Structure 1
Amino acid sequence: MSTMAQPRICDTLVTHEKSNALEELGRVHSSNSSPLCSESHPPDGGFWAWATAFGCFLIQFCGFGYVSSFGVYQDFYTRIYLTDQSPSAISWIGALASFLADSVTLISGPLYDRGWFYQLMIVGSALQSISLFALSLAKPGQFYLIFIVQGVLSGIGMGLTYGPCMLVISQHFSKRRTLVMSLVASGSPMGAVIHPIMLNHLLNGTVGFARGVRASAGLVSGLLLISCLSMRTRALSTPKSTTNYNAAVRKCSRDVFFILITAGSTIFQIGYYFPIFYLQLDSIKHRIDIHLSFYSLVIMNAACVIGRCTAGIIAAYTGALNFMIASTVACSALIISMIALSNVASVVVLGLAYGYFSGVYIALMVPLVTAFTPDLSELGARFGICFASTAFGGLLGGPIPGALLSSQYRWWVASLFSGLVSFVGSSMFVVMRLMIYRRRWTKEAV
């Protein structure tokens, strides 16, 4: 089946946030200039629309849901399996997987625009499955083998599926798009709830590393197969996208709002991953109950599920940009507050709060990029450019704090650095809001 060519935006399909932003910029196209017709109007429901959303949810569950569980591997490798490596070196495994999952969208986004959705899903899912089964063959001390299969191979597989599985939602939903995207995005923290429980019991129990990782690989492989069978694209009368990628890049380079979104997210994510990678290890090193420490990531990601599910609902009233500002500022403050982590209560409160606001941030990224995209035929290209850039923030977000942490475990240094950097990133979204207000005032004055 051929994929839908993303049609030019028109007044009847823009979301509340997009309508406000584009009206203020004077860039909303009139209905007469849009080629969109009723045939290509997303149905906002139906069996295959919701089946596709479910399949995309499973992709998120098995993709970033698994990467977000790397804190379990970070703790296990540091204490047991890779004791000859520093925490910073080990964190490069998870950081690289996250980096590739984002940056490969620079390739998968344009391929999605050209109708390669099914091929991307199949190849990406296969790579994720193979990487986990290969990981189970690694022996203690084999850092480079683990680095290649868990960092490189798995990251590429996730990158091929992540972008297209979010973008295909726009083919099936218009008015409900932000809500459905946030529900699909909740698959990641839901996976980050289930996977840590399973991995902690398997790796730290009687099963052991090899059989435990194989059991995890079997679960992920089965769910990815179901997702590939569930997803569909819509065949429309419009031709496939022929968007020139270089032209899209030039447009992005002149779009101030796109630049601010990209720069803000990139800087923010340097600090964003610190709690995700180090909360469990932080809890254990502070001699907090070992069983609670194993569940610290579960607590965080359970709250993240709630954050992602409610983000679309609340953003419909507050606006995606306003809610994004609130969530990023809250995350930055909570990262700094990790300095005070010392007992059970602090672990639970920090995990719940950070999980919720980090979930809101991730859930709103795709709708925010969509809202500030004037031509949806370029959505895949813009998505790829934005997330390839933000991937560099994620790449540095584990190793730099890990290096600051050092073998002396100076938690206050790493927490303060990560929190301050995240504050700088969140300030970019504040600048966006101020620019919109200024243009609105100028328009009213005229």
Structure 2
Amino acid sequence: MTPVVSKTTSLELEPVLSATRSLGGVCNGSSSANTSRNHHYATDDDGNEGSILQRMPSAGLEFANNPPPDEDATEAEKSVFDSAPNGGLGAWIQVSGSVFIYFNSWGIINSFGVFESYYSINGLSNKSESQIAWIGSIQAFLLVLVSVFSGPIFDRGYFRSLLIFGSVVSVFGMMMTSLCTEYWQTMLAQGIVVGIGTGCLFIPAIAILAQYFTTRLVFANGLVAAGSSLGGVIYPIIFHRLEPRIGFAWTTRVIAFIMLVTYAYALSVMRIRYTPKFKRALWDQTAFSDVPFVLFTFVVFFVFAGAYVPYYYAQSYAESQGIFSENVSFYMLSILNAGSIFGRIIPNFIADKVGPLNVMFPFTVLTMIDAFCWMAVSSPAGMVIFVFSYGVFSGAFVSLPPPVMAALCPDMRLLGTRMGMSFSVSGLGLLIGTPVGGALLKTPASYVATSAFCGGVVAAALLFMILSRYAKVGWDLKAFI
């Protein structure tokens, strides 16, 4: 019987950095349990002991043998971790609060395609689609980048401060967006201000779950990650229905008011159970000599660079190619996000049985094929099938990278630090991918070039994924990783 080391998280990130904080808290509690005389064990819903990390050849071994010093965790902290409710009304209320945070953070980013289409025709029609895409890409990049620093702040017990500050700043950014008439104003309000605000929120939203769940943590994280897809379904519909009736300014304010109300709910119900004592560093020099880790960082970089291209341009493609009218084409983004709800929950359950990297591989292959097929779509049925299936396949890119990094990490004490390092670098893919896709629309090949770019970049991610797996376990196809 093996002591529980920790429970991996499966998230939105959508990349993604969120597991950094939750694992910080989990590692502290679980390592403390390992050093006690009576080991603590957990079973999943099927009665199997342990968690996904225990079945990974090297993910938890070194941590179990060399836990952090016992003085890093108090006896009271051990007790509160071991007594995590793992369900019940209070725990699921925390999940509901986190869902709304993801709904308004990654959900807004997933909805940027509707703003892209509007800006290209109305408010910023003098700018290219590539220039407009920089607004959404900077917003997404800042969400990831700020999260690297919000993690240590959460560690020090400033949970509610992060929620309040992030909520106020992101709502303020959307309110200011409603007043913008120039490109630089929109970049500042929607790109930078909203990006910074949401970056303060998304780490606390996922980190708190590790204080309430043990064997159900993967499922809880899957539900939270699906909240971002839900936002990506609802916000485009709200925008399309209201903008012709009340104008862009008031439509954007309505979205901001929805954010305000849902943030207020999250703030009113979410409570941390304890302050983690295990403080992670921001840098690990040994990571650069860990070949599987470095190769997988390239995987996430290329995934981020390519996977979000259809989220920005599928709607405009359906309209410009005459597949759907303007009133119908906007639904493409909502259908894509609806598909990603399944893609962010289902792979997590499979990964717990066969390994996260083993699951991520076929989903990457299917995403690549789907991306290359995009250029051939010419009928309404084909368009609907494409956006829905792409949402399902690409949704796995949000929830699976953190568990994969846990599988590749040789020492769980370094997991949070390495995730922060990896996502701060690979997050550059979010920054440059969609603007490049937009720039290709200006070439003679237009959407064919954009589709090829999307598929080619995902293919590069697939290549580095194969190399990363080989560097870790060789050609052992049965290895759990």
Whether TM-score is above 0.5 comes out as yes
Structure 2 vs 1, CA of residues 336 and 160 (structure 1 numbering), >3 Å: closer, same or farther? same
d(CA) in 1 for partners of 2:464, 2:152: 26
Offset, 1:370: 4.2
* 1:93 alignment partner in structure 2: 135
d(CA) in 2 for partners of 1:220, 1:32: 41
* 2:432 alignment partner in structure 1: 396
2:214 is aligned, of 145, 153, 174, to: 174
Q: Is the 8 A contact 2:307 2:458 kept in 1?
A: yes
* 1:199 alignment partner in structure 2: 239
**2:420 maps to amino acid:** G
* 2:157 alignment partner in structure 1: 115
* 1:351 alignment partner in structure 2: 387
* 2:267 alignment partner in structure 1: 228
Deviations 1:399-422 (A, max 9, x none): 111111117571111211221111
- Asked if 1:280 is matched to 2:315, the reply is yes
Deviations 1:14-47 (A, max 9, x none): 9643223244885351499885855422332233
Structure 2 vs 1, CA of residues 118 and 24 (structure 1 numbering), >3 Å: closer, same or farther? closer
**1:242 maps to amino acid:** K
Deviations 1:358-401 (A, max 9, x none): 11221223333345456656554333322222210010111111
Q: Is the 8 A contact 2:58 2:407 kept in 1?
A: no
Deviates more, 1:19-28 or 1:39-48: 19-28
- Asked if 1:18 is matched to 2:53, the reply is yes
* 1:327 alignment partner in structure 2: 363
**2:157 maps to amino acid:** G
- Asked if 1:416 is matched to 2:456, the reply is no
Q: Is the 8 A contact 1:103 1:159 kept in 2?
A: yes
d(CA) in 1 for partners of 2:406, 2:162: 21
d(CA) in 1 for partners of 2:183, 2:438: 17
Offset, 1:282: 0.7
d(CA) in 1 for partners of 2:136, 2:225: 19
Q: Is the 8 A contact 1:21 1:436 kept in 2?
A: no
* 1:49 alignment partner in structure 2: 91
* 1:102 alignment partner in structure 2: 144
**1:214 maps to amino acid:** R
* 2:178 alignment partner in structure 1: 136
Identical-residue share of aligned pairs (%)? 30
d(CA) in 2 for partners of 1:15, 1:84: 57
**2:308 maps to amino acid:** Y
d(CA) in 2 for partners of 1:32, 1:398: 42
Q: Per the alignment, in what secondary structure is the counterpart of residue 44 of structure 1?
A: coil
- Asked if 1:430 is matched to 2:466, the reply is yes
Q: Is the 8 A contact 2:291 2:471 kept in 1?
A: no
d(CA) in 2 for partners of 1:152, 1:135: 11
d(CA) in 2 for partners of 1:219, 1:377: 39
Offset, 1:137: 1.0
**1:348 maps to amino acid:** V
Deviations 1:293-333 (A, max 9, x none): 11001111111112212222222223211111122221122
* 2:81 alignment partner in structure 1: 40
Q: Is the 8 A contact 1:6 1:377 kept in 2?
A: yes
Structure 2 vs 1, CA of residues 4 and 334 (structure 1 numbering), >3 Å: closer, same or farther? closer
Offset, 1:255: 3.6
- Asked if 1:310 is matched to 2:351, the reply is no
* 1:215 alignment partner in structure 2: 254
Q: Is the 8 A contact 2:135 2:191 kept in 1?
A: yes
Q: Is the 8 A contact 2:63 2:413 kept in 1?
A: no
Deviations 1:101-145 (A, max 9, x none): 111112112222332222212111111100111111123xx1110
d(CA) in 2 for partners of 1:24, 1:221: 40
Gaps of 5+ in 2: 1-23, 35-39, 43-48
Offset, 1:89: 0.4
Structure 2 vs 1, CA of residues 409 and 297 (structure 1 numbering), >3 Å: closer, same or farther? farther
Offset, 1:440: 6.7
* 2:10 alignment partner in structure 1: none
Structure 2 vs 1, CA of residues 351 and 439 (structure 1 numbering), >3 Å: closer, same or farther? closer
Structure 2 vs 1, CA of residues 184 and 437 (structure 1 numbering), >3 Å: closer, same or farther? same
**1:182 maps to amino acid:** G
* 1:61 alignment partner in structure 2: 103
**1:196 maps to amino acid:** P
d(CA) in 2 for partners of 1:384, 1:33: 20
Deviates more, 1:176-185 or 1:295-304: 176-185
Deviates more, 1:129-138 or 1:405-414: 405-414
d(CA) in 1 for partners of 2:154, 2:475: 34
* 2:280 alignment partner in structure 1: 243
* 1:252 alignment partner in structure 2: 287
- Asked if 1:82 is matched to 2:124, the reply is yes
Report the TM-score, using the length of structure 2 for normalisation.
0.83
Offset, 1:427: 2.5
Q: Is the 8 A contact 2:229 2:340 kept in 1?
A: yes
Gaps of 5+ in 1: none
* 1:183 alignment partner in structure 2: 223
Count of aligned pairs? 433
Q: Is the 8 A contact 1:336 1:419 kept in 2?
A: yes
Q: Per the alignment, in what secondary structure is the counterpart of residue 27 of structure 1?
A: helix
d(CA) in 1 for partners of 2:409, 2:168: 32
**1:312 maps to amino acid:** N
